[in-house]
Structure formats: C-alpha cells, structure tokens
Chains A and B, each alone.
Chain A
Amino acid sequence: MIRRALIVLAAAGTVSARAAAQDSVLVQREARCGRALEAREQQVPPGNTDACFVLANYFVSVHTDGLYRALAAEHVSPRDVQPRTGGGAATGGSAAQGDAVPSVRPLPLAGGTVSAVGSEAGAHAITAVTLNPSVFLTSARDPREAAAWSRFGDLTVFFPVDGLDQDNDGKVDYFGARARLNIAGPAAGSRVLRAAGRAFAALVQEETDLADRITRALLEGPDPDGCIDALDAETLDGEAVLEACGDALALTLDPREMRRLQQALEAARAEADAGYLGLDLRLDVGDPTLGAVAGASGTRLFGGLALGRRLQRSQPEAPSFGFRARMGVRYVALDDPSLPPGQRTSFALDGGAGFEMVRPYEFQPITLTLGVEFRAGNPPDPSLEEEFEANFLMFRFGIDVPLTAANTVSLSVGAPLVGDLSPSIAVSANWSLLLSSIRGTER
C-alpha cells in the first residue's frame, strides 16, 4: 500500500517536473521574444505576456503592409468614380437644360452654369447657380449625417442675363428655381461599405491565423533565434524558415482576399453615387419660352419622382451605361389678364426616359445622354396649348465634356417629335467646387 502510494507520488512528481520544465521553456521563449521586440524598438508587454504573439503580429505587419500599400497605390479617389450631373447646376425643364433627362444627383458643395441658348425666340444667355445646403446645415461633429446629407439635395436658381426686363414692366421677365433631393445615394453607400467591412475583416482574420502559426513556431519551433532572424529577412527564405521555425510559414495573404477587399472598397466608392431616387421640384416664374410664345408668362410648378441607375464596371476606367427616368405633375397658372380665370390654370403629366453613357477620362468622365421627354395635359382651351406648353414629345441629346478638373462644357439639343414646341440648342460652361486639380497630379 505504502509502496503503491510512493509510486503514485513519484509519477506525479515526474509529470509535475515535466510540466514545470515545459513552462520554463515557454517563459524563456517569451522572454526571448520580448528581447527581440525591444531590439526592434517595439513595445514589450509587461512580464513578456504573449511577447511571442506580439512579435508574430509585428512580423505579419512587416510582411503584409506592402499589400496594403499596393492597395493605396491603386487607390481610386471618390472623384474618379463619382458620377457628374452634366456639369453643375440643375437647369432641367428650362431652355438651358443640359442633360437629355435631368437627374437628381446633387452637387456636394456648389456649382454654376452659364448657357448660350438658341431657340425660335432667338439667342439668350442663362446663368444658374447651385448650392448644397448641407454645407451650412450639417454638423461637422456628426460625420455620418454630413456624408449623407451632402449627397441628399441641392438648390439651384437661374435667370436670363441678357435681358432681365425686356418688356420694361419693372419685373424680371423670367427666373426659375430647382430643388434636387436624392434619397437613395447615402443608403446605397452604406450597404456596400458594410460589404467592404466584411471583406476587410476576413483579411484581418487571415492575418490573425498567420500570427497564431508564427507564435507556435516561436514557442515550439526547433530554433527560435533562427526563426526570428528568418522571419525578419527582407525576402523570406522558405528553406531557412522551415528549418528554424519547423513550419513552412509563407507570410503572405491570399491574393484573392486582397483583391476582394480592393474591389469592395472601389465598389463602396462607386455605389454611393451610382444610383439615385428622389424628388425633382421646379418653379418657373415668368416666360420660360423667353419670348417665343406670346402670353406664355405665368407661374409653373413641377413636382416629380426621378430615378436612375448606372451599371458599374469592374474596371473604373471602362465606359459604363445607365438609365434615367422621371415622372411628375406640372401645374401652370398663366398671367394673361385677358383670359377668364377658369382658363388660366392647367395640370399636365410631365416625364422622360433615357440612357446615359459615361466614359471616365482622367480627371472627369465624358457623359452622353439620350432620351425623350413628354408632357400630356388638357388645357382649358385647345387654342392655349402653346402657352401652356402642353402635349409634346421631344427628342433630347446632351453631351458633357471635361475641360479641366473643375470645368466642363456641355452641348444639348432638343427637337420636338410631336407638338408645336420650339427646338432648342444650348451650349453651357459649367464649374463645380467638387473637383480639384490636385487629384490629377497625384495619380
């Protein structure tokens, strides 16, 4: 009995001694890792707690940072992929309309347009200024709010500058205001950003698994000093790593994961601005025909929905295509005092649909839009159809070409297919605070 007890005690002592010896080796190896961190001017955990794990993380960073730097080198700035609205101010529905079918993508800060317009009324010049109210309304302390609202909406005011009061009645003959409210952009950006976060997390998990393997090699490998030296080499020698660490550590990330992260980040940048869904609100006061139709002066209100979607390509520099559509109701109240009050007002359905093609070119894309716009109304008197500008189908074409990082020139043409409406052509110079010439020199 006593002998059996002594045997058990002796066995327990042997196990305990072996465990203690193993602990001692681990402690010594952690200390060795602590010294290696110190030699590399890295923070050493108190008591060398997980020093080998910290050293392993250091090696992972050293060898994977290059991949992140490569990601940075291929960085596409938000401006590279952000769609343009045809250059600047919202002039939809006026003679200076730049796009075939106006979108409701707002300008993030401010912009302006000066247009030379030709129609049956002759040549005119219209100037427009756009401001995004988020510049003043959002708090710099709430970034999510600021990022969302800068994409949410803008306000435009425009008026002819070649004759504000041609009829000398003491009033401005014509001016208009536009509001674009895009409710889709920020939400779309959040969804894709979430996907980018998941791709990033997968990559970091892969790095963590790699750090665990290195830690095991540092704690249990045959030659810890040799392992540290082998992992610290500028270029890893696979044979030396295997011999010293006891594990064929590759210290590289799966290129497919890296590519997935890159694609997710690019998609996050592009997706936020690729689609729009929102309100298109317009006010015109005076004669929008600029004198082409006598008695057309009045007040016009339009409220409608607009949606558009650009199909993003995997290559940022590749052409992309998209569609645009809008639909709304237009109310007109003519000023003509000779008309009976019941004949001065009318409602009409107003809409349009078209395609856009965008060819990214260095600092800005070339944008081409093609579509038709229509209006279907029932004027109180059929003879007033021209004054109310009701019932027409018009072909529209627009092209916007970048000149500099902050300026574009656009050409737009409108030709009636159905209805008695003046054809028009407009050449516009657009500027925007959105762009900067710095980006082009940084690429």
Chain B
Amino acid sequence: MHSPGVTSHKGFVTAGSTVRVRLALDATAQGPARLLVAYGRSGGTPDDQTGTVAPGAQATLSIATDVKGRLRILLDTGPADTGFLQVSVDGAVRDSGPVHGQTTWTYAVISAAGAAPPAADDDEDQ
C-alpha cells in the first residue's frame, strides 16, 4: 500500500462548490511563480485558470465546479522558492500549508450531497 503522505491527493470537494486557490510567494523567491488550476469533468470538457505571482506577492484563482470530475493545482516555481498555498471551498478553508518548489495538489469532485445512495456496511458477498 502506498504511504498516504507521498500523494498529492487531498480528498474531495462537492460539485457545485467554488474552489479558491491562494498562493503567497515568499519575497525570497528568485522569480515569479505560475499557479495553474485545472478542472476535468467526467465525460466533459476541462476548465482552467492560470496566474502569475511575483516574489513577495499573492494571487487567488477561482474555479466553479458543476459536475463530477477532478481538480489539480500546480504551482510551477523555482526549486528553492517557498510560499504558502491555501485552498478554500465556498469560503471555508479546506487545506493550507507551506510549499517548497514545484507543488501539486489534487481533489476528486464528487456528486452533490443527497444524490448519493445510502451508506451500507453490508458486503455484497455476505
């Protein structure tokens, strides 16, 4: 089994929510960083948002989810550059933390709550 710490997978967000990604790049960074957010839709076409962040500055990108899919955030920056990345869903902070060099975080975008089948603990083979 893979160690949970080494994957970019950060869990899930619900379709219909708006995801905001904020990057604060440290002033010691050697150059501007590129922040990319892409949203792939199940059986659909993707969306993306891109931004540039100067050293010592911050940027926020926002992407609206509508159906089931996958979200990947990519911070493209120098190998020694550091900063702080924060992901909010509908205004509430979902994940945040310091980043070092090129970084990627991923989320599954699941169906809106209520459309799901009820929980079951029974095993199909039982």
Contact = CB atoms under 8 A, between A and B. Distances in A.
Interface of A: 23-32, 34, 39-43, 45-50, 53-54, 56-58, 60-62, 65, 68, 71-72, 75, 77-79, 82, 108, 138, 140-144, 146-147, 150, 189-190, 193-194, 196-198, 200-209, 211-212, 232, 234, 265, 268-269, 435-436, 438-439, 442-443
A27 B2 CA distance: 25
A65 B68 CA distance: 21
A265 B74 CA distance: 11
A40 B78 contact: no
A42 B11 contact: yes
Contact of B4 (A34, A41, A68): A41
A234 B30 CA distance: 35
Nearest to A207: B70
Contacts, number: 226
B49 interface: yes
B40 interface: yes
B124 A48 contact: no
Contacts of B48: 197-198, 200-201, 204
Contacts of A203: 38
Contacts of B45: 205
Contacts of B32: 78, 147, 150
Contacts of A190: 52
A274 B70 CA distance: 34
B120 A31 contact: yes
A443 B118 CA distance: 52
Interface residues of B, number: 66
A267 to B, nearest CB: 11
17 contacts: A25-B124, A26-B117, A39-B1, A47-B116, A47-B119, A48-B117, A58-B7, A58-B108, A62-B7, A138-B54, A140-B56, A200-B38, A204-B40, A204-B72, A206-B40, A268-B34, A442-B80
Given A65-B7, A204-B70, 13 more contacts: A25-B124, A31-B120, A32-B124, A58-B7, A62-B9, A75-B101, A77-B77, A108-B31, A140-B56, A140-B57, A143-B25, A205-B40, A208-B40
Contacts of A201: 38-40, 46-48
